[in-house]
């Protein structure tokens, strides 16, 4: 193994935080429903390490419902300023309550209230309806901390493929693929990674 993919991710991510104007932690999240129909949207990375890549959402929204029905996802980081991309694919698991509670406590109060006010992805008659629900949440939790709603939590994408893509002149890009070493265990992966190149 020439490189640890997580150490390489950390190096690229650190560069992105210095060069990207907005949301260096933005990533495209692709999911599919139980019938295999795909959908994609931008979300924000809120934690990462050898155990996976974490983001948070309303479990009752579209992406939450799709991930609970079909627990596989793909992520794409595209840092135009660096001319680099990282693609990640793998199964998805919910984070534990303590992890979700700890992250929720770091959010701004308005964002916390928004998690109570929003029926994410469901039809909204008009903006006034959402603002009214937000005001109701403000009144409900006045003068006390806002607890995390039970339907709002995080998912962790456990990588089975990590590809590092670098733009090169004349479309002769450089692509490095990491996959877990299969050690014959039930999980199908050991403690190390295979590395190879892909044609551009």
Counts for the chain of helices (H) and strands (E), in that order: 5, 10
pLDDT(21) > 90: no
Chain segment 146-174, per-residue pLDDT in tens:
999 999 999 999 999 999 999 999 999 99
Q: Which fold has domain 5-105+150-198?
A: Pnp Oxidase; Chain A (2.30.110)
Structure tokens at 48: 């990462």
Model confidence pTM above 0.85: yes
- Of the residues 41, 62, 148, 171, only one is catalytic, namely 171
Domain ranges of the chain: 5-105+150-198, 109-147
For the cut 90, the answer to whether the pLDDT of residue 184 exceeds it is no
- The Cα–Cα gap between 119 and 136 comes to 14
DSSP string for 125-141: S-HHHHHHHHHHHHHHT
Quick one: average pLDDT of 1-18? 90
**What token pair was written down for 92?**
């998805």
- What confidence category does residue 106 fall into, taking pLDDT thresholds of 50, 70 and 90? very high
Q: Does the active-site annotation cover 171?
A: yes
pLDDT of residue 187: 47
Contacts for 145 with CB less than 8 Å, ≥ 6 apart: 105
DSSP 37-74: -EEEEEEE--EEETTEEEEEEETTSHHHHHHHHS-EEE
Round the average pLDDT of the chain to a whole number and report it: 93
Q: pLDDT by residue (tens digit) across 41-92?
A: 999 999 999 999 999 999 999 999 999 999 999 999 999 999 999 999 999 9
């Amino acid at each position: 193994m020439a490189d640890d993919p997580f150490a390489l991710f950390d190096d690229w991510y650190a560069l992105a935080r210095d060069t990207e104007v907005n949301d260096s932690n933005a990533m495209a999240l692709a999911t599919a429903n139980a019938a295999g129909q795909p959908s994609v949207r931008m979300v924000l990375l809120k934690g990462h390490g050898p155990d996976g890549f974490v983001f948070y959402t309303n479990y009752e929204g579209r992406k939450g419902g799709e991930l609970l029905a079909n627990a596989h996802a793909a992520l794409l980081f595209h840092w135009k300023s660096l001319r680099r991309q990282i693609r990640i694919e793998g199964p998805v698991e919910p984070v534990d309550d303590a992890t979700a509670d700890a992250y929720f406590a770091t959010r701004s109060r308005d964002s916390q209230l928004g998690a109570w006010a929003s029926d994410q992805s469901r039809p909204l008659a008009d903006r006034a309806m959402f603002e009214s629900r937000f005001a109701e949440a403000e009144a409900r939790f006045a003068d006390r901390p806002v607890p995390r709603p039970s339907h709002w939590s995080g998912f962790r994408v456990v990588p089975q493929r990590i590809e590092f893509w670098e733009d090169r002149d004349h479309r002769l890009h450089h692509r490095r693929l990491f996959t877990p070493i299969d050690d014959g265990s039930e999980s199908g992966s050991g403690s190390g990674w295979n590395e190879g190149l892909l044609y551009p």
